[in-house]
Each structure stands twice: as C-alpha cells, then as structure tokens.
Amino acid sequence: MPSNKSVSDAPIVQFTNCRILRNHQLQREDLWVREGKILNPEKLFFDEKGSADIQLDCKDSIIAPGFIDVQINGGFGVDFSLATDDFKSGIDLVSQKILSHGVTSFCPTLVTSPPSVYHQVLPQISIRNGGAHGAGILGAHLEGPFISKEKKGAHPEHCLRTFEEGAFQDLLATYGSLDCVRIVTLAPEMKRSSEVIQELTKQGICVSLGHSVANLSQAEEAVQHGATFITHLFNAMLPFHHRDPGIVGLLTSDKIPAGRRVFYGMISDGIHTNPAALRIAHRAHPKGLVLVTDAIAGMGLAPGRHTLGQQVVEIDGLNTYIAGTKTLSGSVATMDTCVRHFQEATGCSVETALEAASLHPAQLLGIEHKKGTLDYDSDADFLMLNDGLYVQATYIAGEEVWRQDAL
C-alpha cells in the first residue's frame, strides 16, 4: 500500500457508517479528518494515494456540524456579567460543560452593566479555539446598555445609556475596548445610532437590533447602515402590528440591501416564544433563523435564586423570572434541547433544525468557510447524534472532547 505520508505525517481518521449533513442534506458517506480539518477523500486517494490510519464505526449516527451559541449569559452558577477575580475559571467551566449540549463555539454574552463591569470583564475574554478544555470562544456579545427603557426586559434600568454627542466615543468609553467584541445589541430608534452602527460594522462587529421600540422604517434604516441580526425575535420588542410590524417586519421587508441577509435569534425553549410564533417566523424567513439559548447562570442548576448581572432571578421549572416579578430573564434551556424543540414545533426537517444551530450562526458571523459546515477544509468541529437529535459525542478539531457513554 503506498504511504500517505507525502503531504503530512498526521494520522487520517475515517468515520464510517454515518449520515453526514452536507449541502443541506443528510448523505450516507464517510467523513475523513486530518490535522483538525475535514479532508476531501478524492484528493487523498488520487493525489496522495493515501488511506485511513484509523477507522471509527459511527453505528449509523448522524454527523452534524458543532452548534454555535451566539447568545449565552452563563450557566452552571457562572454569570458572565459579574466581575469576579476568577472570571477566567468561570468561563472555562461553562465552555467545558456546554460540550455535552453539542456547543463547540460560543459568544459569551454580557447584559446591561455599569462601565466598571465591562472594563473588568472584557479584558478577561480572549478569542480562542476549542478543544478538550472546552468550546471555542468567538468573541463577546454585548447586549446593552444602549437599549430602550420601555423594552429593557431583565436589564437594570439604572445602567441604561443613550448616545450623546460623539456617540461612538461614548460607546468606547462605556465598554473600554472592542478588542474581543463580536456582537453588539442596541436599540436602533436611539438618536445617533446610525453613526454607531456604521462604525461598529466598519470594525467587523455584528450589530444586532433588540430591546427596542423601533418601528419598521427605523429598523430598515439600521439594516441599511449595516445591522445584520435581531436579538431574540418577538422578545423585548414591539409586538407585530399589521400597520407597522416593527422590527419583526424585517423578516419580509423589501428594503433589505441586495445580497444582504438579516438573521434573527430565537429562544426555542417552549417558553419565550409560542410554537405558533416560532412557525410564523420560520416560514416567513427560514434562512435567517439562528437558535440561541440566552442561557443564564442557573442553566444546569436546581431551581431557586440565581443572578443575571445586576439582577436576582428565580428559576421555577423551565421559567426564569426577575425575582418577585413575571418578567422573563433569559433561559435555562440547553442548545440541544432548543434544536429538538424547534424541530418538533415547526415540523421542519432534521437538516433544517441542525443548520439553525450551526450553519446560520456561522453565516451571521461570517465564518462559514471554517465553521458551521462539514465542507472540505473546514474545521472538524462536529457532533454525533441519534435520530432523536440527542448528542452522543462532540468533536473539536477532529478530537473527541465529550461522549455520552463516558459519563
């Protein structure tokens, strides 16, 4: 047998007996991995005359790209909006634990906080690849404080801010630095928001519209200036009205610049959005739907009192409220639960449900050439799932980082 060492000495792993999600379809073929990347087997056979060093039988599992969570506030007792001395160990714990939910990369999310919190926390968030230590960090999602008082949801009112003269400088002073920031959620009806959206977009930061009372034309203007995302659609925004559908109207707007797609986050936990609303959004704009958990520190813990930034929240079953109120404050849903609920609620295909948690968030962040697909040369971050979409194993860069039966 000719050696396959002509290109690289790294071992080649062949995953057999599986159905791979590729080109929007589950295809019965093998997955080939080397040095953390997905290989094209034809090139391997014909150009390198190579073969597999290791074969793994997947026992008819589905192989799908790893999930990407672009809105997660914490979990397992860790709150990303609390400035603590051991913040790094907290983020490490969450990134380790969410491997079992199929999440291979995420954007740690901070809710509205005083500037001192951003100044302390953001320097401690570093963009990094995933591995056995946990899911990769794609950059921070800053949700607030430039949001609407009327739609603040669980965000503390005393920390909310508006854009003053020199709006972008104002934002920089509040956050301290944008080095590790990937997404900023703001309310587009705020004065001077257009210049802020343009400046953030210029710096490669994704602008999301949320916690807002914007009408449709304000939302469309924000998109024309570069906004590409909607934070948890239907939650913390004006309800859909037929004469002015508000931000929700972006899903079917004809004022979106050519070649641009608006994405929208959905918390598919059976609580934040009625299944009928989930179906309406999905049918109106299926290619823009991005599943997010919006999970808080209480995810993975017993019911009771936990924090979300400056607020105390109470977990009652799957409901999370600001203590003493009926205001929803984040969720305790896991990403794999959201995928299953989404598929069940909409009756969509398995492929569609999986792509809403992998391909779409990757497209939103402009990293679909590396993550969110199983295309050749992309990162070998993937999951093995059974037909019920329960995660059986999680792989990052081709290495197994979590397995169900290892528990």
Position 7 scores a pLDDT of 62
Whether residue 330 is annotated as binding a ligand: the answer is yes
User: Distance (Å, rounded) from C-alpha 172 to C-alpha 62?
Assistant: 44
Instruction: Supply the pLDDT for residue 49.
Output: 85
Q: Which residues contact 142 (CB under 8 A, 6 or more apart)?
A: 109, 110, 118, 175, 181, 183, 184, 185
pLDDT band at 4 (very low <50, low <70, confident <90, very high): very low
3-class DSSP assignment, residue 407: coil
Q: What integer pLDDT is reported at residue 265 of this predicted model?
A: 98
DSSP string, 326-357: --B--B---HHHHHHHHHHHH---HHHHHHHT
Residue 15: predicted pLDDT: 98
Q: For residue 210, what pLDDT band results from cuts at 50, 70 and 90? A: very high
Domains of the chain: 13-64+373-403 (2.30.40.10), 66-365 (3.20.20.140)
380 is in an annotated binding site: no
Q: Give me the pLDDT at residue 260, please.
A: 95
Question: Is 119 marked as a binding-site residue?
Answer: no
Residue 133 assigned to a binding site: no
- DSSP label of 148: -
Compare 260 and 44 and report the one with higher pLDDT: 260
**Cα gap 294→235, rounded to integer Å:** 11
Whether 77 shows a pLDDT value over 70: the answer reads: yes
Catalytic residues: 294
Phi/psi at 148 (nearest 5 deg)?
-80, 135
Q: Binding residue per annotation — 215?
A: no
Peptide bond preceding 145 in cis form (omega within 30 of 0): yes
Annotation-wise, does 143 bind a ligand? Answer: yes
pTM: 0.97
Is 328 marked as a binding-site residue? yes
Separation CA 402–CA 299 (nearest Å): 19
How many CA within 13 A on the CB side of residue 6? 12
Q: Which is it for strands 399-403 and 391-396: parallel, antiparallel or unpaired?
A: antiparallel
CA atoms of 230 and 209, how far apart (whole Å): 5
The mean pLDDT value of the chain amounts to 95
Q: Is the pLDDT of residue 275 over 50?
A: yes
Q: Per residue in 134-162, pLDDT tens?
A: 999 999 999 999 999 999 999 999 999 99
Mean per-residue pLDDT for 359-363?
A: 98
- Region 67-79: mean pLDDT is 98
pLDDT at 407: 55
329 annotated as ligand-binding: yes
Residue 79 has pLDDT above 70, yes or no: yes
Helix (H, G, I), strand (E, B) or coil at 252: helix
